[in-house]
Chains A and B, each alone.
Chain A
Amino acid sequence: MSRIKDMFKAKKAFIPFTVLGDPDFETSKDIIKAMIDSGADMLELGFPYSDPIADGPTIQLADKRALDAGATTNRAFRLIKEIRNYSGIPISLLVYSNLIYKRGIEKFYRDAKESGVDGVLVADIPFEESEEYTAAAKKHNISPVFLVAQTTTPRRLKEILKCAGGYLYLVSVLGVTGKRKTIEDATINLIKTTKKETSLPLAVGFGVSSPKHVKKLVSAGADGVIVGSAIIQIIERNLGDKKKMIDEVGEFVWVMKEAIVKGS
Chain B
Amino acid sequence: MKTSTKFGPFGGTFVPETLMIALEELEESYLKLKDSKPFKDELNDLLKNYAGRPTPLYLAKNLSKKYSCKIYLKREDLLHTGAHKINNTLGQGLLAKHMGKTRIIAETGAGQHGVATAVVGALLGIKTEVFMGTKDIERQKLNVFRMELCGTKVIPVDAGAGTLKDAVNETMRDWTANIRTTYYILGSVVGPHPYPMIVRDFQRIIGKETKKQIMELEGRLPDAIVACVGGGSNAIGIFSGFIDNKKTKLYGVEAAGMGLNTKKHGASLCKGTGGILHGSMSYILQDNDGQIDEPYSISAGLDYPGVGPEHSMLKDTGRAKYVGITDKEALAAFRELSTTEGIIPALESAHAVAYALKLAADLKKDSILIINLSGRGDKDMEHAAKAMGVKI
Binding site for B on A (CB under 8 A): 49-57, 60, 67, 72-73, 96-103, 123-126, 128-129, 146-153, 156, 160, 171, 173-176
B290 touches A176 (CB 8 A): no
Q: Does B278 reach chain A (CB closer than 8 Å)?
A: yes
Whether the pair B12, A51 counts as a contact (CB closer than 8 A) is no
* CB <8 Å contact, A129 and B12: yes
Q: A50-B292, A176-B176 are in contact. Are A97 and B14 (CB under 8 A)?
A: yes
Asked if B16 and A123 make an inter-chain contact with CB atoms under 8 angstroms apart, the answer reads yes
Residue-by-residue, is B279-320 near A (CB-CB < 8 Å gives 1, otherwise 0)?
101001010111110000000000000000000000000000
Residue from B159, B275, B286 within 8 A of A60 (CB atoms) = B159
A98/B12 in contact, CB under 8 A = no
User: For window 343-373 of chain B, which residues contact chain A by CB distance below 8 Å?
Assistant: none
| Bound: A148/B173 CA distance, A | 17
Residues of A within 8 A of B160 (CB): 50-51
Instruction: Give Cα A52 to B278, complex, Å.
Output: 10
Measured CB to CB, the nearest residue on chain B to A102 is: B290
* Given A174-B176, A176-B176, CB of A128 within 8 Å of CB of B169: no
Q: By the criterion CB–CB under 8 Å, are A125 and B14 in contact?
A: yes
* Residues of chain A contacted by B159 (CB below 8 angstroms): 57, 60
Q: Is the CB of B18 within 8 A of A153?
A: no
Taking a contact as CB atoms under 8 Å apart, the answer to whether B15 and A124 are in contact is yes
Convert B7-40 into 0s and 1s, putting 1 for each residue whose CB lies closer than 8 angstroms to a CB of A. 0000011111110111000000000000000000
B323 to chain A, nearest CB (A): 25
Determine whether B270 belongs to the interface, using a CB cutoff of 8 Å to chain A: no
The reply to whether B290 and A98 contact each other, CB–CB distance below 8 Å, is yes
Bound Cα distance from A238 to B41, whole angstroms = 60
CB pair B18–A171 under 8 Å, yes or no, is yes
Could you tell me if B289 and A126 are in contact, using CB atoms closer than 8 angstroms? no
- Residue numbers in A under 8 Å from B17 (CB-CB): 126, 146-149, 151-152, 156, 160, 171
**Is the Cβ of B5 less than 8 Å from the Cβ of A51?**
no
Interface residues of B (CB under 8 A from A): 1, 5, 12-18, 20-22, 159-160, 165, 169, 172-173, 176-180, 273-279, 281, 284, 286, 288-292
Give complex CA distance A148, B21 in Å. 12
The 8 A-B residue pairs with the shortest CB-CB distance, nearest first, are A102-B290, A175-B177, A149-B18, A147-B17, A151-B21, A98-B290, A54-B16, A98-B276
Distance in angstroms from B290 CB to nearest chain A CB is 3
Flag if B5 contacts A128 (CB, 8 Å).
Answer: yes
Cβ of A148: which chain B residues have Cβ within 8 Å of it?
17
B165 partner residues in chain A, CB cutoff 8 A: 51
Residues of B within 8 A of A124 (CB): 14-16, 276, 279
Contact of A101 among B180, B288, B290 (CB under 8 A): B290
In the bound complex, do residue B18 and residue A150 qualify as a contact, i.e. CB atoms below 8 Å apart? yes
Q: Which of B21, B22, B172, B291 is close to A156, meaning CB atoms less than 8 Å apart?
A: B21
Q: Among A73, A98, A160, which residue has its beta carbon within 8 angstroms of that of B277?
A: A98
**What separation, in Å, do the CA atoms of A156 and B23 have in the docked complex?**
13
CB-nearest residue of chain A relative to B5?
Answer: A128
With CB as the reference atom, state the residue of chain A lying closest to B22. A151
**Given A126-B17, A129-B13: A56 in contact with B289 (beta carbons within 8 A):** no
Contact call A128/B1, Cβ cutoff below 8 A: yes
Please, which residues of chain A bring their CB within 8 A of the CB of B21?
A: 149, 151-153, 156
B15 touches A126 (CB 8 A): yes
**A129 CB contacts on chain B under 8 angstroms:** 12-14
Complex Cα–Cα for A176 and B22 (A): 15
Q: Which of A50, A100, A126 contacts B291 (CB 8 A)?
A: A50
Which of A49, A55, A176 lies at the interface centre, i.e. has the most chain B CB atoms within 10 A of its CB?
A176
Bound-state Cα–Cα, A208 to B283, Å: 37
Which of B20, B172, B281, B288 contacts A126, CB < 8 Å? B20
A131 CB to closest chain B CB (Å) equals: 11
- Assembly CA distance A174 to B173 (angstroms): 10
Q: A126-B13, A129-B13 are in contact. List 11 more A-B contacts (CB 8 A).
A: A51-B292, A53-B173, A72-B289, A96-B276, A98-B276, A98-B277, A98-B286, A102-B290, A151-B20, A152-B21, A174-B178
Which of A53, A128, A147 contacts B172 (CB under 8 A)?
Answer: A53
Question: Residues of B contacting A160 with CB < 8 Å?
Answer: 17
Known A50-B160, A149-B18, A151-B20; judge A102-B289 contact (CB<8 A).
yes
| A176: B residues at CB distance < 8 A | 173, 176-177
The residues of B that contact A52 with a CB separation of less than 8 Å are: 169
- B159 vs chain A, min Cβ distance (A): 6
23 A/B residue pairs, CB under 8 Å, sorted by A: A50-B292, A51-B169, A53-B176, A54-B173, A54-B176, A55-B173, A73-B289, A96-B276, A98-B275, A98-B276, A99-B289, A101-B275, A102-B289, A103-B289, A103-B290, A124-B16, A146-B17, A151-B20, A156-B20, A156-B21, A171-B16, A171-B17, A174-B177
What are the residues of chain B within 8 A of A156 when measuring CB–CB?
17, 20-21
Q: In the complex, which residues of chain B have a beta carbon less than 8 angstroms from the beta carbon of A96?
A: 276
CB contact between A53 and one of B5, B15, B288 (< 8 Å): that residue: B15
Asked if B16 contacts A147 (CB within 8 A), the reply is yes
Q: Given known contacts A53-B278, A98-B286, A174-B176, is B18 in contact with A151 (CB within 8 Å)?
A: yes
List chain A residues, Cβ under 8 A from B274: 101
A42 vs chain B, min Cβ distance (A): 21
In the docked arrangement, what's the CA distance between A161 and B181, Å?
28
Most buried by B among A101, A124, A146, A156: A124
| Cβ contact within 8 Å between A56 and B12 | no
| Complex Cα spacing A55 to B1, Å | 25
State how many angstroms separate the Cβ of B281 from the closest Cβ of chain A: 8
Partner of A51, one of B20, B178, B179, B277: B277
